[in-house]
Amino acid sequence: MSPPEKKAKTGGYKLYYWGGIPGRGEYIRLAFEYAGESYSEMNAANKLIPTITNPAKVGFPPHFAPPVLELPSGRFISQTPAILNYLAPRYKLAGEKGSRVLEKDLSDEEREEAEEERAIVNQLTLTALDLCNEAHDVHHPIASSKYYEDQKEAALARAEDFRKLRIPKFLKHFQSVLASNPATEAGTKTYLVGKQTTTADLTLFHVVDGLLFAFPKRLGALQKSGDYEDVFALYERVKSEKGIKEYIASGRRQAFSMGLFRHYEELDAE
């Protein structure tokens, strides 16, 4: 946990991630954009990996992969869900109770409730990120180190299973969470936890956005079925949320292309 001396007073958040793609860095960006928090991006492509894996540059511990976030304290953390879980209570993105974990003077019962709600937000964020990971593995089922074209046959087989079984299974889960949220009223079930935006909402929004890009035919058919109405309503709600709306309008948000979510005509179908 001891960063090198020169990093001790950097101030502000710095996101170390690849430039040019939304990627996993986007989940972190969305939290900052929603919160109106300023952050800078460090994306020098050829220096990214040598930097984040080197304890002499990032302090202890070195990191496995980007995104890596440099904190105002000068310390660094990585792993998308760990970063989101760290940031969430700072921006009231860990639920009404869950965001209280940073407060002093909570009773034992209040602290327990706060810890539990923060864990629930973490859980739902992790499940949305699992769907993102599976969407990536569809076009790279054999190895990240190989071209898509060299694993296309396996990708076609995996895409069929992903479209038919996996996407509906995940959407059904999130629909069930939204529909059973006791804090929201019937007809406006667009919050995964309580009645305020959490990192789980932001993450699910981006995953649905990525799936709409990568599998437009399949997502179109699923949307038309009407079985996942609240999931698509959440997507529309987050899109026009304060902070997110301005971010999208700014043109700063990277377009999907050849990152985690990829559109290959042959991998999509209704």
Q: What crossing angle do the helices spanning 108-139 and 152-161 adopt, rounded to 10°?
A: 130
| Contacting residue, 19, 36, 146, 236, with a copy of itself by CB under 8 A | 146
The answer to the question of residue 184 lying near a copy of itself (CB under 8 A) is no
Helix (H) / strand (E) containing 49: helix 45-52
Does 198 engage in binding with a copy of itself (CB under 8 A)? Answer: no
Per-residue mark of binding to a copy of itself, 89-128 (x: CB under 8 A) = --------x---xx-xxx----xxx-xxx-xx-xxx-xx-
Binding of a copy of itself at residue 1 (CB under 8 A)?
Answer: yes
Residue with tokens 């302090």: 59
Q: What residues numbered 14-73 form the site for a copy of itself, per CB under 8 A?
A: 53, 55, 60-64, 71, 73
Cβ atoms of 4 and 77 closer than 8 Å: no
Q: Report if residue 10 touches a copy of itself, rule: CB under 8 A.
A: no
Q: Are 3 and 75 in contact (CB under 8 A)?
A: yes
Structure tokens at 139: 């076009």
39-52: b (≥16 Cβ within 10 Å) or e: beebbeeeebeebb
Rule CB under 8 A: choose which of 193, 231, 238, 267 binds a copy of itself. Answer: 193
Handedness of CA 21, 217, 200, 144 (dihedral sign): negative
Contact footprint for a copy of itself (CB under 8 A): 1-2, 53, 55, 60-64, 71, 73, 75, 77-79, 81-83, 85-86, 97, 101-102, 104-106, 111-113, 115-117, 119-120, 122-124, 126-127, 130, 133, 137, 141-143, 145-146, 151, 154, 157-158, 161, 165, 170, 173, 176-177, 180-182, 192-194
